[in-house]
Amino acid sequence: MHLMDQPCAAHYAAHATECIDMVADLARSWLTFSAPVAAAQAAGRPLVALESTIIAHGMPYPENVRTAREVEALIRDLGAEPATIALIGGRIRIGLSNDELELLGRSERAHKVSRRDLPAVLAGGGLGATTVAGTMICAALAGIEVFVTGGIGGVHRGAQETFDISADLQELARTSVAVVCAGAKSILDIGLTLEYLETHGVPVLSCEQDNVAAFYTRDSGFRADFRLDDAAEQARFIRTKWDLGLAGGVVLSTPVPQAAAMTSGEIDALTRQALAEARAQGITGKAVTPFLLARIKALTSGRSLATNIALVKHNAEVGARLALALARAGRGAGAA
């Protein structure tokens, strides 16, 4: 076997890099940036991605649109630029206007878009609300490093029989975006979700407490991999991971404010009831999570919605500070 000579090796390496760049350019050609997001990116201001499934499927109208606007305002007030992501008219929209937020908030036909759904909704020109996984993909294409959501998806309760595991977890393993959240949604099996993330090498950070948050409740009972309370520390950790070539996301868990938190006992009981109703009605797949959230809202007379809004706003503040810290950290050991 003959070793490839150096000029030939250099040629093939350059060709491979050129092919990768062409693929990336093709993917980015599907993006349309709003004027504020484009201006912020050109000026070097940090961006914070926001999902749209929470608008179209996670909250009722008009609370969904009002919350989306308030979250965007919080991020701007802290010095970053929000970029709510959705699929509209065959384009990946990075940053939405008020009219587009209204469209998502009022529509009953918005597709819930994860990795597998992106080609179908884009090719068909439909309206798509991006999940955690879908938003991570679009954020990475747009060069956005921080993404704020309410809670990530994960391993559903009873997954040993149903194999119902959110695509969010695989996306966290492969796409290099930091996801700020209030942990995994309380309706999930959080222990198995964390085991899955560990298996795939996804670090789970926590700020403000040692344990991972559990969406409606502050404490899941499971310890995070690392506790980092300061945004600069979080940024150094994340930047070091990516500088080392360790692809994939990072979960940064932060708990819902104490005043808005619900108790784990109450949420567990409500989740069991809602799951039983879902099984009785034959609800499966991507319809499960919206159904459970809606049922818990109804069973709590709206208290869970208030908790959801409070945690998303808190996550936005944490995410904006992280985006600013990552921008200051730069790239490489010397910059960090």
Active site residue 185: yes
pTM of the model: 0.90
pLDDT value for 336: 37
pLDDT value for 181: 98
For residue 84, give both structure tokens.
């709510």
243 annotated to bind ligand: no
pLDDT value for 52: 98
Contact 139, 177 (CB under 8 A): yes
DSSP state of 96: -
- CA-closest candidate to residue 129, choices 155, 146, 149, 159: 149
Q: At which residue do the structure tokens 């069973």 appear?
A: 299
pLDDT value for 47: 99
* Catalytically annotated residue among 72, 81, 145, 185: 185
164 annotated to bind ligand: yes
166 annotated to bind ligand: yes
Active site residue 72: no
pLDDT value for 271: 87
pLDDT value for 334: 45
Q: How many residues does this entry show for the chain? A: 336
Positions in the chain whose pLDDT score sits under 70: 1-24, 332-336
For residue 39, give both structure tokens.
């201006």
pLDDT value for 335: 47
pLDDT value for 150: 96
For helices 231-243 and 303-329, the axis angle rounded to 10 degrees is 60
241 annotated to bind ligand: no
86 annotated to bind ligand: no
168 annotated to bind ligand: yes
In three-state form (DSSP H/G/I as H, E/B as E, the rest C), the secondary structure along 244-288 is: CCCCCCEEEECCCCHHHCCCHHHHHHHHHHHHHHHHHCCCCHHHH
CATH of domain 26-329: 3.40.1790.10
